[in-house]
Amino acid sequence: MKYKNNSLTAISIFLLFLLVACASEKDPTNLLDHVLASKNSFIKNVIDSTDYYEVQILLSTIQRTSDKVTFTDYAYHVDDNNYFYPASSVKFPISLLALEKLERDNRFDRNTKFYVEGDSLETTFEDEINKIYAVSDNEAFNRLFEYLGKDYINTTLKSKGLSPARISHRLSTDNAYELTTKPLIFYENDTVLTEVKGTTNLPIEELQLQRLHKGAGYVVGDSIIPEPMDFSLKNYLPVSTLHNTMKRIIFPDNFKEEERFQLNESDYNFVLKSMSSLPREHGYDPVEYYDSYGKFYIIGDTKENIPENIKIYNKVGYAYGYLTDCAYIQDTKNNVEFIITATINVNKNKIYNDGNYEYDTVGIPFLAELGREVYQNLKE
């Protein structure tokens, strides 16, 4: 009898352990851990080599009551001191700062025509911001950079509590690090030309972070330089700052007045629409610029159209083997919403700037499946 009682006790303990284990898998405090424990090969293969892929993830679930919104945050290997190249994700805060600065100048609005001195294109801020979100246009970003200037960008981000961050240069242009910005010429009443003068910015200081020297070599022209690439003068926008930028624009009432982006109602609605828009909605060829062209989560590994009930407000970045996506994802039909920011480095040969990266085979499938697994877990 004694042996039998011990057996029953052992069985009872084992069953209790299983119940606790199963309960913990569904415990919302462990949501991200649960998702990353997926047996899906696209997630498992990356998470098994997290350091190799430099993975960082921030996830916020959203709880709504009648009078407020609260976040539950989950982090995986997030470290502001571990540098990754943010690529085009820097276009996200710059688009908001440009609209905010424009709002303070009652001479112009986002539909006022302008051109950058020396540029042949007459355009508007609305057109340039739509290009940024639809197809991640680098020249559009550079025009906004000329309007704002490096020092204004960084001082204003810091004043909103959006730090650490350091936006230091334009993208994909010979004058990327030029400290003096060019004047912008605006058309007042479509006829009168008004110049907004450029500014001269302070010299770019080297970042003091970990992992600033990367890889075994990098390409310049037709040559490979056989030494690590130095990122110390490049743009820096960590996962935490990107994530908090998204919180501020989607849920401004959760922040103090001085921490918000000061946009009028029209500009606010415009930028939200632009962030969630698809290339085909702006006249781009849907074969070349499919729905997932700039949206990695959930649909990134397919060229099918996004389901009509899902909206993704986001900005991606990809360069030098780094893939980053910062998104607010909403499905009002199934009452699902969350904010997720993640980055991954897929550069197997460790040569930077050679265009040889595992975006389509490793990086985008990982981010797409990550988005799907979070979505499905919140939907259940």
pTM score: 0.91
- State the total domains in the chain: 1
Query: What would the mean pLDDT of 304-325 be, rounded to a whole number?
Result: 97
Region 6-12: what's the mean pLDDT? 40
16 within some domain: no
Token digits of residue 102: 């424009």
Mean pLDDT of 184-197: 90
Residue whose pair of structure tokens reads 């998104």 in the numeric block? 327
Name every residue whose Cβ is closer than 8 Å to that of residue 141 and which is 6 or more positions away in sequence: 88, 90, 91, 94, 132, 170, 171
**Pair 72, 28: CB distance under 8 Å:** yes
Q: Is residue 9 part of a domain?
A: no
- Rounded distance between C-alpha atoms, residue 128 and residue 147, angstroms: 12
Is a pLDDT exceeding 60 seen at residue 18?
Answer: no
- Evaluate if residue 28 carries a pLDDT over 50: no
pLDDT of residue 244: 98
Beta bridge partners, 326, equal: 315, 341
Task: Tell me whether residue 332 is in a domain.
Answer: yes
Mean of the pLDDT values across residues 161-181? 98
Nearest partner of 325 among 273, 290, 366, judged by Cα: 366
Residue 366, pLDDT > 80, answer yes
Instruction: Name the pairing type of β-strands 351-352 and 217-220.
Output: parallel
**Mean pLDDT of the 264-275 span:** 98
pLDDT (mean) for 45-54: 98
| Chain mean pLDDT for the chain | 93
Whether 24 maps to a domain, the answer reads no
Please tell me the distance from the alpha carbon of residue 241 to that of residue 10, in angstroms, as a whole number: 49
Residue 271 clears pLDDT 80, i.e. is over it: yes
Q: What CATH number corresponds to the domain at position 286? A: 3.40.710.10
Query: Higher model confidence: residue 143 or residue 191?
Result: 143
Q: What is the pLDDT of residue 164?
A: 98
Residue 83 burial (10 A CB sphere; 0-12, 13-18, 19+): buried
CB 74 within 8 A of CB 59: yes
Phi and psi, residue 211, nearest 5°: 60, 40
- Would the CA dihedral through 281, 285, 286, 288 be positive or negative? negative
372 pLDDT higher than 60: yes
Range of the domain at 178: 29-379
- For residues 15 and 26, what is the distance between their CA atoms, to the nearest angstrom? 17
Tell me if 1 is assigned to some domain: no
| 12 inside domain | no
Cα–Cα distances (Å) from 338 to 12, 47, 75, in that order, read 39, 21, 14
Confirm whether 11 is domain-assigned: no
Portion of the chain with pLDDT greater than 70, in percent: 92
Whole-number Å distance between alpha carbons of 295 and 371: 10
Q: Which pLDDT band holds residue 22 (cuts at 50, 70, 90)?
A: very low
Residues 6+ apart with CB under 8 A from 368: 42, 292, 296, 297, 298, 299, 300, 301, 302
pLDDT at position 376: 97
Q: Rounded distance, CA 289 to CA 278, Å? A: 9
Range in 130-134, 165-169, 187-191, 337-341 the model is least confident about: 187-191
pLDDT of residue 26: 40
Tell whether the model's pLDDT for residue 25 goes beyond 60. Answer: no
Average pLDDT over residues 186-209: 93
Residue 130 predicted with pLDDT over 60: yes
What pLDDT, on the 0 to 100 scale, is given for residue 67? 84
Q: Is the pLDDT of residue 191 over 90?
A: no
The per-residue pLDDT for 12 is 40
pLDDT band per the 50, 70, 90 thresholds, residue 29: low
pLDDT value for 320: 98
pLDDT score of 10: 40
Ranking 3-17, 92-106, 117-131 by mean pLDDT, the lowest is: 3-17
Residue 18 lies in a domain: no
If we measure between CA atoms, which residue out of 123, 156, 151 comes closest to residue 137? 123
Q: What is the pLDDT of residues 57-114, one digit of tens each?
A: 999 999 999 889 999 999 999 999 999 999 999 999 999 999 999 999 999 999 999 9
Q: Report, as an integer, the average pLDDT of 133-157.
A: 98
Position with higher pLDDT, 3 vs 254: 254
Residue 250 has pLDDT above 70, yes or no: yes
